[in-house]
Chain A
Amino acid sequence: MSTILIDGRTIAFKPGDNILRAALEADVEIPHFCYHAALDSLGACRLCAVEIKPKNSNEAPRLTMACLEPAKEGLEVSVSAAAAQQVRRHVIELLMINHPHDCPICDEGGECHLQEMTVTCGPPYRRYRGRKRTFTNQDLGPLIHHEMNRCITCYRCTRFYQDYALGNDLGAMRLRNEVYFGRFQDGPLESPFAGNLVEICPTGVFTDALFRQRFARAWDLNTAPSICPHCSVGCNTLPGARDGTLRRVRSRTHPELNRWFICDRGRYGHQYSEHCARLLSPRVSGENTSYHKALNAATTRIKATQNCIGGIGSAREDLEGNTMLQALLNEVGGVFTAFNDPALEAATIAAVSWLQNSAGAPSLIEMEQIDAALIIGDLTAHAPMIDLALRQAYRKGAELTLFHSSPTPLAQFTTSAITVPPREMYAKLSHLCTLINALLAGRDISDDPMAVIAKSLIKARQPLLIGTIETLTATDASVLAKLAITLGPNARLTYALSGPNAYGSALLAPEGNAMQILESVETGKIKTLIVAGNDPFSDPRFGLRWRAACRNLNTLIVLDCILTATAEAADILFPVAAWTERGGTFVNYEGRAQSFLPVFHRPEYLPSAADVIADLAKYLECSRQDVLSVLQDTFPDFQVPAPGTLGSPIPVSLPPISDSPSAGSPLLSSNNSTWQTALMSWYGDETLASFAPGLTSLAPATIAMIEQATATATGIVDGSKIRLRGSADSVVLPVQLNQNIAAGTVGIGRNVLVRLGLGHGDPIELEKVL
C-alpha cells in the first residue's frame, strides 16, 4: 500500500484518497469543517490547510487544502507548519465574525465541532467590533430546531439533504455574506432522513427539537451501544438518558449498515418509552399490584390450565424473550408462534428460508453498489434506511424498478414505477419471471410492455430484488426468490421484514402455529394465552377474530412496554423495560445478530420480557430457567455477539420452502369489479413509533386514496366522501385522487384498516356518500 508522511508519521492510503481522508482513516486529526466521509470534499471552509514539502529544495513549500489534494506516494505533509496554522487561525476568526457566541444556551454546546475547532485552531480573542449579520429563523416542524445565526456556511446540510438523501425542500438561499439554509416557507422538513441534519451540522444551526424540550448536556447523558427497534434493518444507535428518562437517540457508526445515519423513525420514535400512558406497574384484573403478586397470579393460572396454553412472541421482541417464551411453553405443554397474523408468519418464514438458501441478504453498503433493482412495495415505510441505501445506488446510476400498490417516496427515483393491485402482485411477478426466462432462452419479447424491465434486470452486473414482507404473501415472496434464481448467481435477494427481530423469531416455530393457536383459542382448547410484545387485537386482518376468540380465554397474560389494545384487555399485565432500558439481541433482515446494552434504568422495577418469563419459569419450577442456557440450547452453535461490535450471523437454517404453498396463503386475483384495500404507510408508521407524539404529529391525514381513472369511471370526485365497509365496521372518509395508486384499489392507513378489520389486499365495499 502507498504511504504519505504527515508530520513525520507514515500514513497508508487507498488509491483515490485525498490527504484528509487518508489522515482521518488513520486517526490522524487534521482540522476540518465541510469535509464529511459521506459527502466527500467541497473545499468550502478552507480549514484543512496543510503545507506540502516541495520535491526540490530550491522550491518554496506550498499551502493547500488537505481535502482537495490527492494523496501521492511519498508526499510530505505538515499540519503543524506555521503557515498552515496561520491560515486556520484566520479562517476561524472569519467564521466566528458573525457567530452569536451563544454557547452557554446552545444545544450543541459540548459536542460542537465549531467549538472544538475554535479552541484547537482559533485566536483566543475577538478583534471584530462591528455589527453582526443576523437572520430570521424558520419553523422547521416539531422535530428540528433552526438557529441560522450560528451557521458557518459549510454546506454540509444541503449536501446531505439534497445530494445524499435526495430531498428537495431544504436549500441554500441568497449569496455572499447572507447565505441562508432553509426552506421556501416555514414548515416541517419532508425528508424521512431530515433528523440527520442535527448530527451533520458542525454547529448548532439544526438541533433536535424533542431533545430541546427535555435537554441535558452531552457530558451528563448516560449512553450505551443500542440497536434501533423500529424496523428490521438493525441500525446502530447511541441513545442518551439522564435522571431515569430517555432524552434522545443518535446514530452510532456501523460500517456495513447505517454508517453515519439513521432515519427519523429511529431518531424520534424513542418517545414511546416516555409516553404518558406508559405501563410502569404490573396489573392483575385491572388493579395495580406488586411484581411478585402478579407472578404468583400468573403461576396459579398457568398451573390450572396445564397443556391448554398458547404463547405469542413478537417480531419486535428480542431473541432472548422469544426463546424463553418458547422454552417455557415447551415445558408446560403449550404452542408458540412469534406472529399473530398467519399470513405474515408464512411470508416471514418463507422469506427467511429463501434468504438462507440463497447467497444471503446484502448489507446496506452492498446495496449501495448494485446497478439495478426490482423493488416490491413501500420500502420507505417498512425499512427507511434501505430506501436511503438505494438512493445512493440511484445516484451512481442504478436503474430502479418499482411495483407498488400505494404511493411511495421512492417512486420518484425509479426508471419505471408500476402500480399493481395487491391481488395481482403474484401474477405480475410470475409474468416477469416468464419474460426473463424467455429472454434468456433467446426469444423475442419486445412487444411486451414489461420487456424493458426484464432486459434491465438481465443486463445488470448485480441486480437486487427486494420485497416488503408485510404487504406480500408467502407465494409473492417465493416468486421473487425464484426471479433471483432465474437471474443467476450475481442477483441479490432481500426482504424488508416486519420487525427488528422478525428474522430471529421466524427461526423458532414452524409455519401454521399462528393459525393453530388462533383456532385453539376460538374452540376453547387454549385457556391461557401469553403474549410477549405483540398486539394481536390490533392486527388489521385478524384483530377482530383475536378479540372475539380471547373472550373464551380464562387468562390473557401480556408483557409489553406500550399500552396496546391487547395490553389494555389483559387479565395479568407485566410492564417490561423499553429497548433502551434492557440488554438483548436482535437478528436483522440479513440474519445478523446484534446485541445491545441497557442505557439506563428507571426508578420503577422494569425487567425485560426474558427476565419476566425466567421468573415465571422459576415460580412454575420448570427445569430451564436461565436465559443464557436456554439460548444456548436453542441455538447450539451461536455465541451472542458483544454489544458494540459488528454482530455475527445466526447459524441456524430453516428447511427450503416447498414449491406447493400451504393453503390460505396466496392472495390471488379477484373479480375486477370489486375494490381491494392497499395499506398506505409512511415512515413513522410502526407500532412503537405510533406512541411517539412528536413523530406522529407529522402523520398524513386520514383519507381514502383512489386512482384517477377508476374514480372517473365510477363517478367519484376528489374531495367527495365515500363509505368503506369492512368485516368489523364502516367508516366515511374524504377521497383523494392520486396517480400513484393501483387501479381498483383503495389506499387507507393502518388505523383505518384495523377499524375495518381488513388486511392489505382484502376485498372492500365502497359506496358514495351524498
Chain B
Amino acid sequence: MNTFEVLQKNLAHLSRTHPRRRAAAVPAMQNLQAELGYLDDMAITKLAQITGLSTTELEELATFYSLIYRRPPGRHVVQICDSVCCNMRGADQLLESAEKYLHRPLGAITPNGALSVLPSICLGLCDKAPAALVDGEALGPLNNASLEALLQRLQKGD
C-alpha cells in the first residue's frame, strides 16, 4: 500500500470522528507522519486534495505545530522545551550543550541518522522544568550531565 492509500485509509477512519474534512487536517498530518516520519511537499499536496484545504493553509498548520516535521528527523527525536519556565531553569544552556556535544546545530541529524535535537514550544511540563520530549516520552528535570548521558545512550542505542 503506498503512502497515498495509507492516507486515504486513515482518513476514511477519521471521517467518523471528524465530520468536517477540514477538521481532520491535523490528525491526518499526524497519521501520515507516523507512516512517513515527516511530511514532504508531496505529502502536503496530497493532504490538500483529500482535506479540501489549500496547500498554504496546511503549511500554516504544519509549520505552526512543533510536533509536525517538514524535514526528516533522526530515528530518535529529543525536543527540549525553551518556553518560560524551562528557560528560567536553564533550557538555553541545555540547548547549547546539546549543540556542543553533537557538534552540529539544532535540527541537524547525527551522521548515523540516529538522533536529532530540536527546541520546542511549551510542552506543558513546567513541573519538570527544564523538560524534554524524548521520542514522545516526557522527561525532566534535565541537567547537562543527564542530557549528555541521554544523548549518548540514544546515539549508541541502534
Given known A184-B44, A185-B41, contact A171–B59 (CB-CB < 8 A) = yes
Contact A173 B63 (CB under 8 A): yes
A172 and B57 CA atoms in complex are apart in Å by 9
List chain A residues, Cβ under 8 A from B41.
184-185
A183 within 8 A of B: yes
Restricting to B30-65, which residues have a CB under 8 Å from any CB of A?
Answer: 41, 44, 53-60, 63-64
Contact B60 A171 (CB under 8 A): yes
B150 within 8 A of A: no
A173 and B63 CA atoms in complex are apart in Å by 6
B121 within 8 A of A: yes
Give min CB distance, B138 to chain A, whole Å.
21
List chain A residues, Cβ under 8 A from B63.
173-175, 180
List chain A residues, Cβ under 8 A from B54.
168-169, 184
Contact A171 B121 (CB under 8 A): no
Restricting to A484-510, which residues have a CB under 8 Å from any CB of B?
Answer: none
A126 within 8 A of B: no
Contact A184 B59 (CB under 8 A): yes
List chain A residues, Cβ under 8 A from B59.
171, 173, 184
Give min CB distance, A21 to chain B, whole Å.
28
Residue of A nearest to B62 (CB): A173
A704 and B41 CA atoms in complex are apart in Å by 30
A176 within 8 A of B: yes
Restricting to A172-211, which residues have a CB under 8 Å from any CB of B?
Answer: 172-176, 180, 183-185
List chain B residues, Cβ under 8 A from A172.
60
List chain B residues, Cβ under 8 A from A180.
63
List chain A residues, Cβ under 8 A from B44.
184
Residue of B nearest to A169 (CB): B56
A176 and B54 CA atoms in complex are apart in Å by 23
Of A168, A175, A184, A185, the most chain B CB neighbours within 10 A belong to A184
A550 within 8 A of B: no
Identify whether the interface residues of B are mostly helix, strand, loop, or mixed. helix
Please tell me the number of chain A residues within 8 Å of chain B, measured between CB atoms: 13
List chain A residues, Cβ under 8 A from B56.
168-171, 183-184
A170 and B60 CA atoms in complex are apart in Å by 9
- Interface residue from B55, B57, B58, B121 paired with A175 (Cβ < 8 Å): B121
Contact B57 A174 (CB under 8 A): no
Give min CB distance, B107 to chain A, whole Å.
12
A168 and B53 CA atoms in complex are apart in Å by 8
Of A170, A171, A172, A183, the most chain B CB neighbours within 10 A belong to A171
A731 and B121 CA atoms in complex are apart in Å by 59
A175 and B63 CA atoms in complex are apart in Å by 8
List chain A residues, Cβ under 8 A from B60.
171-173
Give min CB distance, A161 to chain B, whole Å.
10
A171 and B44 CA atoms in complex are apart in Å by 15
A263 and B133 CA atoms in complex are apart in Å by 48
- Interface residue from A169, A170, A175 paired with B64 (Cβ < 8 Å): A175
Give 1 or 0 for each of A139-179: 1 = CB within 8 Å of chain B CB.
Answer: 00000000000000000000000000000111111111000
A184 and B62 CA atoms in complex are apart in Å by 11
A327 and B58 CA atoms in complex are apart in Å by 61
A170 and B44 CA atoms in complex are apart in Å by 15
Give min CB distance, B116 to chain A, whole Å.
18
A547 and B44 CA atoms in complex are apart in Å by 52
Residue of A nearest to B83 (CB): A176
Given known A172-B60, A174-B63, contact A184–B121 (CB-CB < 8 A) = no
Residue of B nearest to A168 (CB): B54
A464 and B63 CA atoms in complex are apart in Å by 41
A185 and B42 CA atoms in complex are apart in Å by 12
Give min CB distance, B92 to chain A, whole Å.
14
Give min CB distance, B46 to chain A, whole Å.
13
Residue of B nearest to A178 (CB): B63
List chain B residues, Cβ under 8 A from A171.
56-57, 59-60
Contact B121 A176 (CB under 8 A): yes
A174 and B64 CA atoms in complex are apart in Å by 5
Contact B121 A185 (CB under 8 A): no
Contacts A171-B60, A172-B60 known; list 5 others, CB within 8 Å: A168-B56, A170-B56, A171-B57, A173-B60, A184-B58
Give B contacts to A, CB under 8 Å.
41, 44, 53-60, 63-64, 121
Give A contacts to B, CB under 8 Å.
168-176, 180, 183-185
Q: Lowest 8 CB-CB distances: which A-B pairs, in order? A: A184-B55, A168-B54, A171-B60, A171-B56, A173-B63, A174-B63, A184-B56, A184-B59
Sampled A-B contacts (9; CB under 8 Å): A168-B53, A168-B56, A169-B54, A173-B59, A174-B63, A184-B41, A184-B44, A184-B56, A184-B58
